[in-house]
C-alpha cells in the first residue's frame, strides 16, 4: 500500500528536495532543468511507467468515448457517424424518475456506510495494535483478511445460507419453536444488510493501512507519556489518534471520491431479493440502460454526471482538508 | 436456473427481449424436445418490422420445404404437439455420407445451462467433429447471463465468433436494424428457394420455422425449431406419493392450497418456487399483444389477466409456501431446490423434464416430476398460447469468403439430420459404447461420461425438426406425449404469431419496470396500485407509440 508512504513523505518533507515542494525550513529552492530532473528521477520514473501506461490505456483513452453522451451512439456507426443530439441525453437523465431513485439510493448507501462502515477498520486496527503477542495478532489478522478474497457471489450466498429464510439460523430457530426472521428479503433493513456484508468482507482488509500507520509511531512516545503518568486512554487520545489522523483524512477523501460507486456486484446480486426500489444505484442503472438495453448514449450521460459529481466531491473534500491544516490527497506545487 | 420462469418474465413481458435474467434452462438437450419456454414472444428489438420489411415477401427469402421422413412416430403429433418416438429405429440412415468439412477450425459461441464440458479429450466433440470433417471449437457461456455477454460481443463486430447462437429472448437491442446486417452473413443467396436442395436436411425444416429467421426481408438465421407447447407447472410426483398426497388441481385456489399443504418449513421443505410463469399461464395472460373486440390493441401489462396473475402470485408468496431462497430471488438454484425436494412445485420449460431425469435418475431411480394437466385459474377452459416456431437460432459471421459460408452450411446440414439418421443419433446420444450402451430392448442407457460430455452444444447451433426421442428415460416419451396431446387442444395463436418483429430501439427499455414490478408485487413490496402507475408511465414513455407501431403492422398485413 502506497498510501502511508505517501503520507510520510508529505508529513516529513525531505529538506533537501530541490523543487521546493513543502520544504519551508529548507534552503531556498533551486530550479533544475527538466532534463536534469528526469536524469535525477530516472529510476522512479521507470517504476511508475507501467502504472501510467495502464492508466492511460484503460482509463484516459476510454474516457474519450464519453463524447457519445452528446450523440445518439450506435457501435455500428461509430463515434463520428452517430448523429449528434446536443444535451438531449442529459435532459433525459435528469427528467427520469428511475435515475433520481438510483441517485437517492446511492447517496443513502454512501452516507450510511460512511458512518457505519468507514470507522470499523480503525477500531479493529486499534484493537489489534493493542494485542501484544505477535502470534495471536497475525492469526487474527489473517482470519479477518480472508473474506476480502471471496467474490461477492460467494459472500451473498454465504449470507443467504446463514441468514436466509431457509438458512442455518432460521432453521435452528424454527426447530426450537421460534419464528424465523427475514433479513435477506426485507427492503427496510437492506442498508444494514449491505453494510454487514461489507464489514464482514472488507473491514479486515481495511485495517492494513491503519496498522501500517500505527507501526510508524515511535514506542518512545508511549514510554515518555507513560513516565509522565498518562494512562491508556490518554495515550491513545494524544499519541495514537493524532498519528492516524492524516491517514484517516486521506482515506476519507478518497472514499468520498468513490462514494457514488457503491458495490455494483453486491447490489446486482441482491436486486431481485429486495427490489429495485432500494437496490438500484447509479452504476447498476447505467449498466442496464447501456449494456442491456443498448441505450449507450443515455448511459454515458448518466455515468458522466456521476463522474463530475465525484470529482467535485474529491476537490471539495481536499480543499476542506487544507483548510483544517491537513495535507489531503495532493497540494498544488 | 429456473429457466423458464425467467424467460417468461423476460420475454413475455416486456416489450423487448430483455434479458438480463434470462432463462431457460432447460433446453433440452437435443434436437428432440427442447424445452424452451414459450411465450417468449418475438423479441426483437429494432425497427423495421423484421420479417417482411420494405415490401419484400418473406416467402422469397426462405428455403423450399422438402420433407423427408425416415421413421413414423409412435405418438403422432396432435394439434401440433411434438411427435414422440418410444424406440430407436433398427437401422440408422446416414444422411450425409461423407464428412463435408475441409478440416478447418471454426469458433462457435453457445449458451449452456449446466456444467460446461471439458474440451480437452472430449470424446463427444471428437466424434461429432469427425463426422463433420471440420472442427467446431465452442466458446460456451453461462445461459443465465448469455444475453449480457451477447450484447457485449456483438457490439464489436470483429470479435464475433464464426458461428453464434442467439436465443430469441436474448436478441439484443438494435439487432434487426444494425447488428444483423453489419455482423452476420446474409444466407438468402445460399438457401432461398430451391438453392436449399444442396442441403437436404435444411430443406427438411418447415417453412414457419425459417420465416422466423428472416430479418428485413433477408434470411440470416439457422433455426433450432421449437415446440408448440413450451412451459408447464411441474410437481415432484415421487415425493408427493411418499407423502401420500394425490394432487387434484382444477383451479388457482387448488394450487395455492396444495402448495401450502406441502410446506413444512421446520423440515426444510416448501411447497413451491416462484410460480409467476404458472400465474401467467393459468390466467391466460397474452404473450404480448391482444386484439380487443373493438379492434384495439391491448398490451399484456394492460390486461385484467396480467393484473389477476400478479394478484394470484402475491397470494402465493404471502401464504409462505414459497421457498425463502426463491423469495430472495436466488433463481439460479431453483432447479436444484426442486430436484433435491426442498421445494415441490416449479414452473419450467417442458424440456426441463427430460433434463431432470438425466440428472437425477442415477442417484434417485424413483425421481419423477409430472406436469399438472392444464387448468385455468377460475376453473374454466385454459388458454395456452403457442410457442414460437424457433426460440433459438444461430448466425454466421459476415464474410466475403463464399466457400467458408458454403462449408458452414454443409456442416449445418449434417448437424440438422432428423430422427432416424446416424447424425441425429450421434449428436443427441453420443457414441455407442462410450456415452451409452444398449439394453435388451435396444434402448440407449447413458453412461456417466454422457452426463458430463453430451451437453447441448451442437444442437444450439441448429437442429432438425423437433421430435421427442428421449427414449433413454423409461416412460418419459409416453408421459410427455400424452400430456402434450391433452394440452394441445387448448392452444391458440398469439397475435403476430410466428412473425419476427423488431421494435424500434427507443422502446427497448420501457418494459423493464414491469419485470421489476412483477418481483415487487409478488413479494408484497408493492401493491397492485403500483401497476396502474407503471402502465401510465409505460404509455407516456412510448407504450402508445409502440401500440401504433404494431397497429401499423396489423393494418398492413
Nearest residue of A to residue B507, measured between CA atoms = A293
Q: What percent of chain B has pLDDT over 90?
A: 57
The CATH number of B231-385, from 3.60.20.30, 3.30.360.10, 2.60.40.10, 3.40.190.10, is 3.40.190.10
φ, ψ dihedrals at B95, nearest 5°: -80, -25
Nearest residue of B to residue A182, measured between CA atoms = B324
Residue B353 pLDDT > 70: yes
Taking residues B336-359, report their average pLDDT.
91
C-alpha closest to that of A213 among A119, A324, A126? A126
Residue B6 pLDDT > 70: no
What are the residue ranges of helices labelled H in A117-166?
Answer: 119-129, 134-145, 152-163
pLDDT of residue A332: 65
Label residue A17 by pLDDT band (50, 70, 90). Answer: very low
Distance CA B221, CA B50 (A): 12
pLDDT of residue A25: 52
Residue B318 at interface with chain A, using a CB cutoff of 8 Å: no
Question: Are A165 and B327 in contact (CB < 8 Å)?
Answer: yes
Chain A nearest C-alpha distance from B413 (Å):
31
Question: Are A272 and B331 in contact (CB < 8 Å)?
Answer: yes
Q: Where in chain B is the domain with CATH 3.40.190.10?
A: 43-228+391-488, 231-385
Contact B37, B379 (CB under 8 A): no
Beta strands in B30-167, from DSSP E residues, in sequence order:
44-45, 105-112, 135-142, 163-167
Report angle CA B318, B324, B329 to the nearest 5 degrees: 95
When CB atoms are compared, the residue of B45, B266, B328 closest to A174 is B266
pLDDT of residue A130: 81
Q: What is the DSSP letter of B498?
A: T
pLDDT of residue B444: 83
Q: What percent of chain A has pLDDT over 70?
A: 90
Distance CA B549, CA B551 (A): 5
Question: Are A76 and B18 in contact (CB < 8 Å)?
Answer: no
Residue A138 pLDDT > 90: no
* CA atoms lying within 13 Å on the CB side of residue A22: 13
Label residue B16 by pLDDT band (50, 70, 90). Answer: very low
Taking residues B159-167, report their average pLDDT.
94
The overall average pLDDT reported for chain B is: 85
Taking residues A194-223, report their average pLDDT.
88
Residue to mutate among A153, A185, A187, A270, with most B CBs inside 10 A, is: A185
Residue A118: count other Cβ atoms within 10 Å of its Cβ.
Answer: 15
Contact B132, B411 (CB under 8 A): yes
Residue A236 at interface with chain B, using a CB cutoff of 8 Å: no
Label residue A77 by pLDDT band (50, 70, 90). Answer: confident
Label residue B300 by pLDDT band (50, 70, 90). Answer: very high
pLDDT of residue A165: 85
CA B417 to chain centre: 20
Chain A nearest C-alpha distance from B182 (Å):
7
When CB atoms are compared, the residue of B330, B508, B512 closest to A294 is B508
Query: Strand, helix or coil at B112?
Result: strand
DSSP letters along A73-126, please? --TTTHHHHSPB-TTHHHHHHHH-HHHHHHHHHHHHHHHHHHHHTTHHHHHHHH
- Grid coordinates standing for B83? 411427435
The overall average pLDDT reported for chain A is: 83
The CATH homologous superfamily to which domain B43-228+391-488 belongs is: Periplasmic binding protein-like II (3.40.190.10)
Give the domains, in start order, of chain A with CATH numbers: 101-323 (1.10.3720.10)
Label residue A28 by pLDDT band (50, 70, 90). Answer: low
Question: Are A273 and B157 in contact (CB < 8 Å)?
Answer: no
Chain B nearest C-alpha distance from A75 (Å):
6
Whether complex ipTM tops 0.90: no
Residue B540 at interface with chain A, using a CB cutoff of 8 Å: no
- Grid coordinates standing for B421? 439418421
**Mean pLDDT highest for which of A262-271, B58-67, B180-189?**
B180-189
Nearest residue of B to residue A92, measured between CA atoms = B541
Question: Are A184 and B516 in contact (CB < 8 Å)?
Answer: no
Amino acid at each position: 500500500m502506497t498510501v502511508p508512504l505517501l503520507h510520510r513523505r508529505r508529513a516529513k518533507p525531505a529538506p533537501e528536495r530541490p523543487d521546493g515542494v513543502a520544504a519551508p525550513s529548507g534552503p531556498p529552492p533551486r530550479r533544475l532543468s527538466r532534463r536534469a530532473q528526469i536524469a535525477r528521477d530516472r529510476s522512479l520514473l521507470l517504476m511508475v511507467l507501467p502504472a501510467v501506461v495502464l492508466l492511460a490505456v484503460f482509463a484516459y483513452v476510454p474516457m474519450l468515448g464519453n463524447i457519445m453522451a452528446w450523440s445518439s451512439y450506435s457501435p455500428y456507426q461509430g463515434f463520428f457517424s452517430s448523429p449528434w443530439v446536443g444535451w438531449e441525453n442529459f435532459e433525459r437523465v435528469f427528467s427520469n424518475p428511475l435515475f433520481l431513485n438510483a441517485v437517492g439510493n446511492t447517496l443513502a448507501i454512501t452516507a450510511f456506510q460512511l458512518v457505519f462502515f468507514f470507522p470499523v477498520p480503525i477500531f479493529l486496527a486499534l484493537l489489534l495494535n493493542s494485542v501484544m503477542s505477535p502470534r495471536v495478532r497475525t492469526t487474527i489478522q489473517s482470519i479477518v483478511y480472508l473474506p476480502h478474497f471471496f467474490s461477492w457471489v460467494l459472500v451473498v450466498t454465504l449470507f443467504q445460507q446463514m441468514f436466509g429464510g431457509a438458512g442455518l439460523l432460521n432453521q435452528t430457530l424454527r426447530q426450537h419453536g421460534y419464528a424465523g426472521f427475514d433479513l435477506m428479503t426485507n427492503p427496510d433493513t437492506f442498508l444494514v444488510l449491505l453494510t454487514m456484508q461489507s464489514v464482514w468482507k472488507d473491514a479486515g482488509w481495511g485495517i492494513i493501512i491503519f496498522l501500517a500507520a500505527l507501526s510508524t509511531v515511535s514506542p518512545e512516545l508511549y514510554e515518555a507519556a507513560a513516565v509522565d503518568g498518562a494512562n491508556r486512554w490518554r495515550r491513545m487520545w494524544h499519541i495514537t489518534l493524532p498519528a492516524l489522523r492524516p491517514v484517516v483524512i486521506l482515506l476519507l477523501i478518497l472514499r468520498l471520491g468513490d462514494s457514488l460507486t457503491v458495490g455494483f456486484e453486491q447490489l446486482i446480486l441482491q436486486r431481485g431479493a429486495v427490489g429495485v426500489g432500494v437496490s438500484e444505484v447509479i452504476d447498476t442503472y447505467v449498466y442496464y440502460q447501456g449494456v442491456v438495453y443498448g441505450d449507450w448514449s443515455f448511459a454515458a450521460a448518466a455515468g458522466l454526471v456521476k463522474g463530475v459529481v465525484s470529482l467535485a466531491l474529491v476537490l471539495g473534500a481536499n480543499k476542506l482538508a487544507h483548510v483544517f491544516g491537513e495535507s489531503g490527497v495532493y497540494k498544488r506545487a | 436456473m429456473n429457466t423458464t420462469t425467467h424467460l417468461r418474465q423476460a420475454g413475455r413481458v416486456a416489450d423487448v427481449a430483455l434479458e438480463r435474467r434470462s432463462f431457460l434452462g432447460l433446453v433440452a438437450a437435443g434436437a428432440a424436445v427442447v424445452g424452451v419456454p414459450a411465450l417468449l414472444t418475438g423479441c426483437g428489438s429494432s425497427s423495421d418490422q423484421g420479417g417482411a420489411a420494405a415490401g419484400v415477401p418473406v416467402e422469397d427469402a426462405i428455403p423450399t420445404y422438402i420433407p423427408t421422413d425416415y421413421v413414423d412416430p409412435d405418438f403422432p403429433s396432435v394439434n401440433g404437439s411434438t411427435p414422440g418416438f418410444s424406440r430407436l429405429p433398427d437401422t440408422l440412415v446416414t444422411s450425409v455420407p461423407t464428412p463435408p468439412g475441409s478440416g478447418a477450425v471454426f469458433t462457435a459461441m453457445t449458451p449452456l445451462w449446466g456444467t460446461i464440458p471439458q474440451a480437452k479429450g472430449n470424446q463427444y466433440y471428437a466424434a461429432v467433429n469427425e463426422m463433420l470433417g471440420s472442427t467446431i471449437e465452442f466458446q460456451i457461456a453461462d445461459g443465465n447471463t448469455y444475453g449480457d455477454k451477447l450484447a457485449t460481443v456483438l457490439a464489436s463486430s470483429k470479435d464475433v465468433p464464426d458461428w453464434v447462437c442467439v436465443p430469441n429472448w436474448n436478441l439484443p437491442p438494435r439487432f434487426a436494424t444494425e447488428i444483423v446486417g453489419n455482423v452476420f452473413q446474409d444466407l438468402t443467396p445460399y438457401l432461398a428457394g430451391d438453392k436449399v436442395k444442396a442441403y437436404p436436411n435444411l430443406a427438411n425444416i418447415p417453412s414457419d420455422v425459417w420465416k422466423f429467421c428472416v430479418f428485413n426481408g433477408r434470411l440470416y438465421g439457422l433455426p433450432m425449431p421449437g415446440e408448440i407447447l413450451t412451459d408447464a407447472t411441474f410437481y415432484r410426483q415421487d415425493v408427493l406419493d411418499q407423502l401420500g398426497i394425490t394432487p387434484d388441481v382444477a383451479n388457482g385456489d387448488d394450487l395455492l392450497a396444495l402448495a401450502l399443504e406441502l410446506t413444512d418449513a421446520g423440515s426444510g421443505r416448501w411447497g413451491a418456487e416462484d410460480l409467476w410463469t404458472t400465474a401467467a399461464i393459468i390466467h391466460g395472460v397474452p404473450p404480448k399483444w391482444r386484439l380487443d373486440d373493438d379492434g384495439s390493441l391491448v398490451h399484456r401489462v394492460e390486461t385484467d389477466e396480467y393484473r389477476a396473475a400478479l394478484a394470484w402470485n402475491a397470494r402465493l408468496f404471502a401464504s409462505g409456501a414459497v421457498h425463502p431462497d426463491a423469495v430472495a430471488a436466488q433463481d439460479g438454484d431453483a432447479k436444484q431446490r426442486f430436484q433435491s425436494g426442498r421445494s415441490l412445485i416449479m414452473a419450467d420449460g417442458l424440456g426441463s423434464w427430460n433434463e431432470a431425469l438425466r440428472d437425477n435418475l442415477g442417484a434417485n431411480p424413483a425421481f419423477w416430476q409430472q406436469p399438472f394437466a392444464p387448468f385455468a385459474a377460475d376453473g374454466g377452459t385454459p388458454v395456452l398460447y403457442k410457442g414460437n416456431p424457433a426460440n433459438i437460432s444461430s448466425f454466421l459471421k459476415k464474410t466475403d469468403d463464399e466457400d467458408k459460408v458454403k462449408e458452414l452450411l454443409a456442416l449445418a446440414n449434417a448437424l440438422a439430420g432428423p430422427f432416424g439418421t446416424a447424425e441425429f443419433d450421434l449428436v443427441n446420444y453420443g457414441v455407442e459404447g462410450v456415452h451409452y450402451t444398449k439394453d435388451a430392448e435396444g434402448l440407449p442407457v447413458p453412461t456417466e461420461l454422457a452426463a458430463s460430455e453430451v451437453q447441448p452444444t451442437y444442437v444450439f447451433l441448429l437442429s432438425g425438426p423437433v421430435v421427442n426421442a428421449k427414449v433413454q428415460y423409461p416412460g418419459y416419451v409416453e408421459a410427455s406425449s400424452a400430456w402434450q396431446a391433452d394440452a394441445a387442444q387448448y392452444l391458440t395463436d398469439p397475435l403476430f404469431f410466428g412473425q419476427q418483429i423488431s421494435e424500434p430501439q427507443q422502446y427497448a427499455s420501457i418494459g423493464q419496470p414491469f419485470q421489476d414490478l412483477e418481483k415487487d408485487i409478488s413479494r408484497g413490496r408493492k401493491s397492485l396500485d403500483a401497476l396502474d402507475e407503471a402502465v401510465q408511465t409505460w404509455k407516456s414513455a412510448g407504450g402508445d407509440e409502440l401500440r401504433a407501431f404494431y397497429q401499423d403492422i396489423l393494418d398492413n398485413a
